Amino acid sequence: MAPRKPKVIVTRKLPDVVETRMRELFDTELNLDDTPMDAEALAAAMSRADVLAPTITDRLDAELIGRAGPQLKLIANFGAGVDHIDIAAANAHGITVTNTPGVLTEDTADLTMGLILASARRVVEGANIVQAGDFHGWTPTWMLGRRLRGKRLGIVGMGRIGQALAKRASAFGLAIHYHNRKPVSPRIAEDLEATYWESLDQMLARMDVVSVNCPHTPATYHLLSARRLKLIQPHAIIVNTARGEIIDESALAGMLQRGELAGAGLDVYEHEPSVNPKLLKLPNVVLLPHMSSATIEGRLDMGDKVIINIRTWMDGHKPPDRVIPSML
């Protein structure tokens, strides 16, 4: 007799290839219409599932995890970020949490570099002018942006994505600076020709471009606070492809509106999917719909990692991508 397949409930629609493989391997319940689950729907799913496969749109707080059925033993997150899951609460209830680290590094670094370019050279602003029929010919002093070569890039968070961004930025002639909880290894620092700043305040005050690439944790909430934003030079631009909560969005919008910063490129927002109305009206801001990891290859790789984590757990082993509370 074949062993019972675990009940896996997937909260959002995933690529067809991933869903098909999950149906082959597990007793999988799919979300075919891709409607985000509210708290009650999530609670109902957690009362029936052996494994929940959520995404960033699912807020699994301590109260919701406390309502989970005793059979729920694994939350196999489809995504690298886990700030939407109360890891400590899950651990206290004997529920293992996994994520999909590493697979989104190159895609996110690509888009981050794209946002730096688009913001510095006013790419979206220029495209909008042409599409609106307002381009009336070239002039020598119109639509002037900023050259990247020779400028300083300050990376906030020098993990996988920060390092991948540093490699790309170096190719454009940017000098690499970074702030991290601790310095990277001497070998990596030498390869990237990166300057470490223990003081985030001191780094911000000297940069031409600031890129946020650290995870969102209680310690990084509003890491770029109103006070710190005021340290940044008026000609600088800020790019964020990490999490919106890391920047005080209201303070950022006000500074951009008053011309106290030259521009910003944002793929994430503090109250996502809501965007500060001030940002929507500013021509010097490039706004994207949380798409830094949105490649076909990346989504398929994420699905593969979710499946590997579930299968490893099924076999009685520790999944390779366990998230430990002490890691956060």
C-alpha span between 224 and 178 (Å, rounded): 14
Is 4 an annotated catalytic residue? no
> In 3-state terms, what secondary structure has residue 206?
coil
Marked catalytic residue, from 177, 216, 228, 243? 243
Q: How far is CA 67 from CA 12, 39, 43, 110, 144, in A?
A: 20, 11, 6, 40, 56
Marked catalytic residue, from 67, 160, 272, 322? 272
C-alpha span between 80 and 241 (Å, rounded): 13
Marked catalytic residue, from 23, 160, 290, 311? 290
Is 243 an annotated catalytic residue? yes
C-alpha span between 76 and 304 (Å, rounded): 11
> What are residue 263's DSSP bridge partners?
237
> What are residue 154's DSSP bridge partners?
177, 210
- Tokens 């030079």 belong to residue: 233
Quote the Cα angle for 179-181-186, to 5°: 75
Is 290 an annotated catalytic residue? yes
Could you tell me which of 284, 211, 204 has the C-alpha nearest to residue 241? 211
Q: HSE on the CB side for 95, CA within 13 Å?
A: 29
Catalytic residues: 243, 272, 290
